[in-house]
Amino acid sequence: MRTQDPKTIYLKDYQEPAFWVEHIDLTVRIFETHTDVESHLTLKKNPNIASRDLVLNGVDQDIIELALDGQPLTQSDYRRDEESLTLTCDRDDARFSSLTRIRPQDNTSLEGLYQSGSMYCTQCEAEGFRKITFYPDRPDVMATFTTRIEADQTRFPVLLANGNPVDSGELDEGRHFATWNDPFPKPSYLFAMVAGNLSRKDDTFTTRSGREVALRIFVEPQNAHKVDFALESLKKAMRWDEDTYGREYDLDLFMIVASDYFNMGAMENKGLNIFNSAAVLATPDTSNDLRFERIEAIVAHEYFHNWSGNRVTCRDWFQLSLKEGFTVFRDSEFTADMHDRAVKRIHDVVDLRAAQFPEDNGPMAHPVRPDSYIEINNFYTATVYEKGAEVVRMIHTLVGPELFRKGSDLYFERFDGQAVTTDDFVACMEEVSGRDLTQFKRWYTQAGTPRVTVTDHFDSDTGEYRLTFRQSCPPTPGQREKDSFVIPIKMGLLDADGNDLPIRTDADYNPDTQVLTLTDTETRVVFSGVNEKPIPSLLRDFSAPVRLQFDYSDEQLAFLAKNDANGFNRWDAVQQLYLRAILGMSEDERMGKNAQVPSALLDTVASIAGDTELTPAIRTAMLSLPGYAILKDAVDEIYMENLVAARKAVINAIATRYRDIWRSLTEGLAGRGDYEFTAAEAGRRSLQGLALWYWLKSGDQAAFDFAADLYHHAGNQTDRGNALRAVLAGEDHALQDELLEHFYERWQDDTQMVEQWLSMQSSAPNIGAADIENLMEHQAFDIKNPNKVRSVIAGFAMNVESFHDETGQGYELVADMIGRLNGINPQIAARLVTIFSDWKRFEPKRRAMMESTLKTILATPNLSPDVFEMTERALK
């Protein structure tokens, strides 16, 4: 609890520990009322460090016995504070032993060892191991682990830990034990154990060198039918990592466990991945296509960590993006290879713009490699993960795929079994490519989204076309001035027929990749041999995480949307059209002018909707308007009512003007046969869902009937969810109530379905703060379960109309929730604070309300360091 002055940790203070741990022998004895943990550490002096201080982290443990080399320690032998215990150790080789008592069943923070439903499981990243036993809980200390678990045989028939099973047997009083050994040295954050009554599904994978790996998924018995998709995804990921990175799995056993109570998506513990149930359990009847794609990606992500994270890990937590940025890049390439590359890129960029850009544009902005933190859990952010992945992607773009692969081979080989830094990663890329990436590394150290403003000039006499690029980066907390970035701009020039012109220039341009590399504040590029003024297509495939601005006319954007050879940029041109229209109309509204939907936009919508040369998935993406996160991020001052009115007006115009198109698309895209999760089928369903949504928005009674019918006869959750979401967005309240009630009746015993039921309601328009209060009173809600909290609260926060209701009720509701969660699960409470982090960008009225809400949170008694850090940063 609140520590008056929570301690700030700085990267510049990094020092190796005075002692390494070579091996840990751990015994965990689970009893009804408590759990006893016995641990023996084989220590080795670090010759690089003069100090003889043995520093062991430990939190929320009762000490029963401590000993050094068999000699019991008394309180005068060590110094203790809230987080650690320090003693002097005179020998270079020593053995530290401890016996402590913990209470996993009362551990609602879901860090360390805790109870989840009927099972016990762990989450140790980042600093959860210190809640299990005294240990140098830092990622640069890598040890081999032997873990013995003892528990009641009936209640916990399954006992799992990292590595290989080496022994098991019965004990007195109906108890039993299992011993596991992990031969790969690892940091404590990768420790895991599970005890439960779990059902298991087995499979095998033969590695390319011919080794057979046993695969096992463990879930609570009621979920036994939901594991097949994850197993298939795992095998695809294992194959892909062999094919793409030459990485083979190393142990003989790979296990996945699903847990209903989990703070994040999943965790890459060595040989024993633990997943949030929502990120692994799937059937067509209970998971929609987006969920299938997400599960496949997360299973792959955690598997890929076995190399990018486990075999080569992080030296300290400032290097978190070393494993996360790289692994997100790897999983996103995996998804691109499995499905549709352009669609995957579009989805990633939508997420980046909706989550990471706003983060980088406000008080929470921090570099991909932060320089300081109070609570590291607050830095598992879109910047570290998604922007970190973009940084790796830019390296890939700059050096090219072959050299990138060479660089990653070198990285894995050179640093296998070590804890390293982002500099080490980049150094490998420099070494194989001969390219100096010193300036490039500013992407790791400077926060903020760079702006690139582009202007052009055409000289018909000389046949020269000139583009001038100017880059700048706004100040972010603690960083006023920025030096210029290395920015790869993938580009083309379109002629009047929409074809790419051959490019001739002496600028730093690579014709094979179409990439122009900017390094200076201002770069002028001259293209020669150009006969007519071209239309530039810039930042193809979103080759850098920047805000690029070029003064296109609406007609030029419509032209690019139709003709650009780059699928991503066709989509992006339409997005710019939408964005510009909505922002323009919002501004007109505010000035009391009559807002008009531009005709270039409406024409473009019709031509996309009818363009059967485009895949349904791309059409869905092109017909989807930017969400409020992106709209808010694009204005200087947020006038929520006007943005809402403008976005609604555009939707209504699209819906009513093209009612017949939406109707015929909806009817024409009906499914045939059994559900299949393929890019083509998922694309079809998504376009049908969007068409139905627009059709229903047009107010056509036939659309409501169609939706009700689709809901009742849907053979899968994608169609069912599309139908329900469309109905919830309409005005037929009786039908809404009827379907919601039916849904709950039918699916109340299925946790994943109940979560969807909650979030569909909390994010539906027309839901007010009072409805949310009711939802939290419902038996389906459980404040101790992060998925339930997210379903209700995060859904509500995206429901901009009620959340930003002018009474301030929405703000109060979320603040109240943060206050309640502060004592239960500080990590989740701290996350919710980010909902308010753009408060300063609002018009005066809401700005004041949100500021006072944040101040109320800051005044909460016993504020956790987690919430304290986030609230204090938000207020700055």
CB-based contact 264:280 (threshold 8 Å): no
Given the complex with Zn ion, which of 296 and 324 has the nearer CB atom? Answer: 324
| Closest distance of CB 331 from Zn ion, Å | 8
Amino acid identity at 778:
H
Given the complex with ligand ARG, which of 111 and 719 has the nearer CB atom? Answer: 111
The entry of ligand ARG, Zn ion, none near residue 263 (CB within 5 to 8 angstroms by kind) is ligand ARG
Report helix angle 388-399 to 401-414, nearest 10.
Answer: 120
The entry of Zn ion, ligand ARG, none near residue 97 (CB within 5 to 8 angstroms by kind) is none
Can you tell me which of 254, 357, 380, 706 binds ligand ARG, judged by CB under 6 A? Answer: 380
261-269, 286-294, 329-337, 724-732 -> range binding ligand ARG (CB under 6 A) = 261-269
Sign of CA dihedral 564, 567, 571, 572: negative
For 368, half-sphere exposure in the C-beta direction (CA atoms, 13 angstrom radius) is 27
| Closest distance of CB 298 from Zn ion, Å | 9
DSSP character at residue 861: T
Query: CA-to-CA distance for 720 and 692, rounded, in angstroms?
Result: 12
Count interface residues toward ligand ARG (CB under 6 A).
Answer: 14
Residues numbered 582 to 611 that lie near Zn ion (CB under 5 A) are none
| Closest distance of CB 617 from ligand ARG, Å | 26
The entry of Zn ion, ligand ARG, none near residue 43 (CB within 5 to 8 angstroms by kind) is none
The entry of ligand ARG, Zn ion, none near residue 194 (CB within 5 to 8 angstroms by kind) is none
Amino acid identity at 657:
R
Given the complex with ligand ARG, which of 279 and 429 has the nearer CB atom? Answer: 279
Is residue 264 within the footprint of ligand ARG (CB under 6 A)? yes
| Closest distance of CB 68 from Zn ion, Å | 36
Q: Quick count: other Cβ atoms within 10 Å of Cβ 528?
A: 13
Given the complex with ligand ARG, which of 125 and 289 has the nearer CB atom? Answer: 125
Given the complex with ligand ARG, which of 324 and 348 has the nearer CB atom? Answer: 324
SS3 494: strand
Q: Cα–Cα–Cα angle for 740, 746, 747, nearest 5°?
A: 90
Classify 778 in phi/psi space as left (phi over 0), alpha (psi -120 to 50) or beta. Answer: beta
CA dihedral 276, 281, 285, 287 (to 10 degrees): 40
Q: Is it true that the peptide bond before 126 is cis, omega within 30 degrees of 0?
A: yes
263-271, 449-457, 606-614, 726-734 -> range binding ligand ARG (CB under 6 A) = 263-271
Q: Quick count: other Cβ atoms within 10 Å of Cβ 741?
A: 10
Structure tokens at 601: 């936009």
Given the complex with ligand ARG, which of 307 and 380 has the nearer CB atom? Answer: 380
120-128, 214-222, 617-625, 738-746 -> range binding ligand ARG (CB under 6 A) = 120-128
| Closest distance of CB 862 from ligand ARG, Å | 21
Given the complex with ligand ARG, which of 679 and 828 has the nearer CB atom? Answer: 828
| Closest distance of CB 259 from ligand ARG, Å | 13
| Closest distance of CB 295 from Zn ion, Å | 15
Residues numbered 826 to 845 that lie near ligand ARG (CB under 6 A) are 827
SS3 67: strand
Given the complex with Zn ion, which of 146 and 306 has the nearer CB atom? Answer: 306
Can you tell me which of 97, 288, 377, 422 binds ligand ARG, judged by CB under 6 A? Answer: 377
* Binding track, positions 327-346, relative to Zn ion; x by CB under 5 A: x-------------------
The entry of ligand ARG, Zn ion, none near residue 654 (CB within 5 to 8 angstroms by kind) is none
Query: CA-to-CA distance for 755 and 739, rounded, in angstroms?
Result: 16
* Binding track, positions 305-324, relative to ligand ARG; x by CB under 6 A: -------------------x
Cα 112 to Cα 86, 98, 133, 137, 657, distances in angstroms: 21, 17, 9, 12, 56
* Binding track, positions 311-330, relative to Zn ion; x by CB under 5 A: -------------x--x---
Count interface residues toward Zn ion (CB under 5 A).
Answer: 2
Structure tokens at 382: 């879109």
| Closest distance of CB 306 from ligand ARG, Å | 11
The entry of Zn ion, ligand ARG, none near residue 620 (CB within 5 to 8 angstroms by kind) is none
Burial class of residue 173 in the structure, from the number of CB atoms within 10 Å of its CB (0-12 exposed, 13-18 middle, 19+ buried): exposed
Given the complex with ligand ARG, which of 557 and 870 has the nearer CB atom? Answer: 870
Question: Is 302 among the catalytic positions?
Answer: yes
The entry of ligand ARG, Zn ion, none near residue 849 (CB within 5 to 8 angstroms by kind) is none
Q: Which long-range contacts (CB under 8 A, 24 or more apart) does 303-307 make?
A: 303/234, 303/237, 303/238, 303/241, 303/254, 303/268, 303/273, 304/237, 304/241, 304/247, 304/330, 304/331, 304/334, 305/268, 306/247, 306/249, 306/250, 306/268, 306/270, 307/241, 307/245, 307/247, 307/412
Amino acid identity at 67:
A
Report helix angle 599-609 to 567-590, nearest 10.
Answer: 140
Given the complex with ligand ARG, which of 145 and 380 has the nearer CB atom? Answer: 380
| Closest distance of CB 298 from ligand ARG, Å | 8
| Closest distance of CB 425 from Zn ion, Å | 15
Nearest to 473 by CA among 527, 536, 518: 518
| Closest distance of CB 129 from ligand ARG, Å | 12
DSSP character at residue 511: T
CA dihedral 779, 785, 789, 792 (to 10 degrees): -40
Sign of CA dihedral 374, 375, 378, 380: positive
The entry of ligand ARG, Zn ion, none near residue 289 (CB within 5 to 8 angstroms by kind) is none
Structure tokens at 34: 């408590």
Is residue 296 within the footprint of ligand ARG (CB under 6 A)? no
Cα 761 to Cα 671, 776, 798, 800, distances in angstroms: 26, 12, 12, 14
Can you tell me which of 296, 302, 430, 750 binds ligand ARG, judged by CB under 6 A? Answer: 302
Query: CA-to-CA distance for 344 and 621, rounded, in angstroms?
Result: 10
Cα 243 to Cα 239, 268, 561, distances in angstroms: 6, 21, 35
Given the complex with ligand ARG, which of 372 and 656 has the nearer CB atom? Answer: 372
Is residue 263 within the footprint of ligand ARG (CB under 6 A)? yes
The entry of Zn ion, ligand ARG, none near residue 267 (CB within 5 to 8 angstroms by kind) is ligand ARG
Q: 125, 220, 296, 302: which is the annotated catalytic residue?
A: 302
Report the chain's terminal Cα–Cα distance, integer Å.
Answer: 23
| Closest distance of CB 257 from ligand ARG, Å | 14
| Closest distance of CB 266 from ligand ARG, Å | 6
Residues numbered 122 to 141 that lie near ligand ARG (CB under 6 A) are 123, 125-126
Given the complex with ligand ARG, which of 123 and 335 has the nearer CB atom? Answer: 123
CA dihedral 498, 499, 502, 508 (to 10 degrees): 60
Given the complex with ligand ARG, which of 649 and 867 has the nearer CB atom? Answer: 867
The entry of Zn ion, ligand ARG, none near residue 264 (CB within 5 to 8 angstroms by kind) is ligand ARG
Can you tell me which of 25, 268, 589, 866 binds ligand ARG, judged by CB under 6 A? Answer: 268
SS3 546: coil
265-273, 498-506, 603-611, 781-789 -> range binding ligand ARG (CB under 6 A) = 265-273
Residues designated catalytic: 302
Binding site for ligand ARG (CB under 6 A): 123, 125-126, 263-264, 266-268, 301-302, 324, 377, 380, 827
By the criterion CB under 5 A, which residues form the site for Zn ion? 324, 327
